[in-house]
Structure 1
Amino acid sequence: MNSKETDATYIYTYIHHKNEHDLCRMEMRSFFGFDTQLNYLMSPINVDPSRSPFIEDRLEVLYKAETFPELKEMVKAMKINASTFKVYCFNRMDLGETKKIPHADRRHVERELGLIIDGEPDLDNPDVVFGLVALNNRWYFGVYTKSISIWREHVHKPNSYSTALNTRVARAIANIAVPNVDGIRAIDPCCGIGTVVVEALSMGIDIEARDINPLVCVGARENIAYFDLEGTVTQGPISEVDEHYDVCIIDLPYNLFTHITREEQFDIIKQARRIADKCVIVTIETIDDLLEEIGFKIADRCITKKHLFVRQILLCE
């Protein structure tokens, strides 16, 4: 049993590519303060499932029971504040040691609960979707939310280049940097075409963008506007930033067109230390020595792979 299960208010299910295993877990730790090797997670913390590129479903738990008949009695007494509803059982895959429930059996338990809920069933456009899931010999019932893969729309940008972060990785990095958006100011001072910035803005993160290359700044502005987002992209080096931020996100330049020396890397990270309380750094090289010399401590880290291309994601404080 998950150590957090007894405190659960929310249940989240996860799906990710094997190359994103570590990145998914690092995002978990950022949101919830712990991770799990299971493909579901229980927590009292409320996270919009559409923020994560890895979360599939969220259940806000209203009732839990040892048996289905016991759960039915609880649901029967429930009063709902919606005129129409739908019941959805999301045991469509193995969840930890709990085996997938066959389609016909899932439909059966959905109908069983639907018949006793005081409301009007609507399978197409309900006011509320109730979720049902069996886990570890318990049944859970509550309000269901399906993750919407907003990041998929951002794959097709007007401007892109082959070595840019993919949208899933960029979205996870934005979440690692800013798990809670309220009152947090962020900056991406080496924003490139704005891959991270687009994801951050789409999640309501207060982030400013900057790049030393004027043509790249134009591309980033076009990408932001293309998705009807509003954000500021300023041209200039990080050394000219004179404001202070809660967090800085830096994808260190590395390709042939923006070759950077070790000394230039050192200067960018040193400037990041000056302008922000914490920093999420993306690098293809091991830079632990630079971070230590500058005064950063690595609070968390992971790697993400794309074929043979490996990136390190470092959360520094």
Structure 2
Amino acid sequence: MSNEQNKSKFIYTYVHHVDEYDLCRMEMRSFFSFDSKSNYIISNIKVDPSRSPFIQDRLEVLYADNSLENIKTSVKDININEATYKVVCLNNMDIGETKKIPQPERRLIERETGLCIEGEPDLDLPEIVFGMILIDGIWYFGKHMKSESIWCKHLHKPNSYSTALSTRVARAVANIAVPQPQNIRAIDPCCGIGTVIIEALSMGINIEGRDINYNVCKGSRENITYFGLTGNITLGPISEVTEHYDVAIIDLPYNLFTHTTIEDQFDIIKHARRIADKVVVVTIETIDDLIEDAGFVIADRCIAKKQSFLRQILLCK
């Protein structure tokens, strides 16, 4: 297989809980316009793997061949300009139909391939990390980037609610709403204590928050500051928003103290239609009729599970 065929090709590996299958695939479709039933996806679209709570590795393909020996020959052409490097084999789990490669064999492949690269290997703090992966009889070699679980850092906030989205779900929802942040303005007009806002801000998404509860707004601001982020949280209902946004994220209010009626929910969705071109709605109830009555079309959807608690995530345009 020629190197020319593999320009701008990226392989992403995925790890997620069984309950997150649907949410993971909806995020995949948002990033890549299609999904994969397997635990990897190949695309020419470049995504920072740390954005997703499900992506484990990204490999930017430089060479691909069904012969490992040919890969070893190809890597001799790599010029790393005196940088230190190491090679990692990503077959530490089953990849699709390709079975996991045992650790001793992976170490041998890494060592033998690494020795073919002209330069100084450094297994502890390399300046460049190369990766290789075997999928369906084809070896892929390229630049490797491992995902950092940034959402983990946001688990413990100064202010939190038991009914708030988990940081993993919030991060995926932000990605579904804004897969490409460049020149996109977003708003979360029912932001609560800022779970979605924090994930979005940490990914460089231009997002504002809003809530009708003064103490909740105060708690959200404290949470944002706690993580060293900067974001604008305003007080007031969505009906008072006059600016227009590319996308809105609506986690419909629900808890022991906030029971929104059908009329309240429709009012929120109707105003979301007014202020944004695209809306991602998170709901514990089926509200397809309200979405359609507000003038939206549901373009994609999934169920996010947390034990027996189910949320619907709707992408509306």
TM-score normalised by the chain length of structure 1: 0.97
Structure 2 matches for 1:165-184, cutoff 5 A? Answer: 165-184=165-184
Q: 1:83, 1:281 → 2: CA distance?
A: 47
2:152 is paired with a residue whose SS is: helix
Q: Which residue does the alignment assign to 1:32?
A: 32
Q: Which residue does the alignment assign to 1:279?
A: 279
Matched, 1:226 2:226: yes
Structure 2 matches for 1:139-288, cutoff 5 A? Answer: 139-288=139-288
Runs of 4+ in 1 over 6 A off after TM superposition: 5-8
Q: 1:275, 1:221 → 2: CA distance?
A: 23
Is the contact between residue 59 and residue 131 of structure 2 (CA under 8 Å) also seen in structure 1? Answer: yes
Q: Which residue does the alignment assign to 1:295?
A: 295
Is the contact between residue 10 and residue 46 of structure 2 (CA under 8 Å) also seen in structure 1? Answer: yes
Give, as a single letter, the amino acid of the residue that structure 2 aligns with 1:231.
G
Is the contact between residue 14 and residue 54 of structure 1 (CA under 8 Å) also seen in structure 2? Answer: yes
1:215–1:17 distance in 2 versus 1, CA, 3 Å: same
Give, as a single letter, the amino acid of the residue that structure 2 aligns with 1:228.
G
2:34 is paired with a residue whose SS is: coil
Is the contact between residue 6 and residue 61 of structure 2 (CA under 8 Å) also seen in structure 1? Answer: no
Structure 1 residue 254: Cα displacement: 1.5
RMSD: 1.1
Give, as a single letter, the amino acid of the residue that structure 2 aligns with 1:63.
Y
2:279 is paired with a residue whose SS is: strand
Structure 1 residue 82: Cα displacement: 4.8
1:6–1:125 distance in 2 versus 1, CA, 3 Å: closer
Q: 1:233, 1:222 → 2: CA distance?
A: 10
Structure 2 matches for 1:34-73, cutoff 5 A? Answer: 34-73=34-73
1:257 is paired with a residue whose SS is: coil
Q: After superposing the two structures, state which structure 1 stretch, 15-24 or 5-14, moved more.
A: 5-14
Is the contact between residue 6 and residue 64 of structure 2 (CA under 8 Å) also seen in structure 1? Answer: no
Q: 2:183, 2:81 → 1: CA distance?
A: 32
Q: 2:82, 2:23 → 1: CA distance?
A: 38
Q: Which residue does the alignment assign to 1:11?
A: 11
CA-to-partner distance for each residue in 1:263-305, whole Å, 9 max, x for gaps? 0000000000000000000000100001111100000000011
Is the contact between residue 60 and residue 142 of structure 2 (CA under 8 Å) also seen in structure 1? Answer: yes
Percent identity over the alignment is 68
CA-to-partner distance for each residue in 1:155-211, whole Å, 9 max, x for gaps? 000000110000000000000000000000000000000000000000000000000
Structure 2 matches for 1:103-122, cutoff 5 A? Answer: 103-122=103-122
Give, as a single letter, the amino acid of the residue that structure 1 aligns with 2:21.
H
Q: Number of residue pairs matched?
A: 313
Q: Which residue does the alignment assign to 2:92?
A: 92
Q: Which residue does the alignment assign to 1:127?
A: 127
Give, as a single letter, the amino acid of the residue that structure 2 aligns with 1:217.
C
Q: Which residue does the alignment assign to 1:78?
A: 78
TM-score normalised by the chain length of structure 2: 0.97
CA-to-partner distance for each residue in 1:22-41, whole Å, 9 max, x for gaps? 00000000000000110000
Query: Structure 1: where are the runs of 5+ without partners?
Result: none
1:303–1:224 distance in 2 versus 1, CA, 3 Å: same
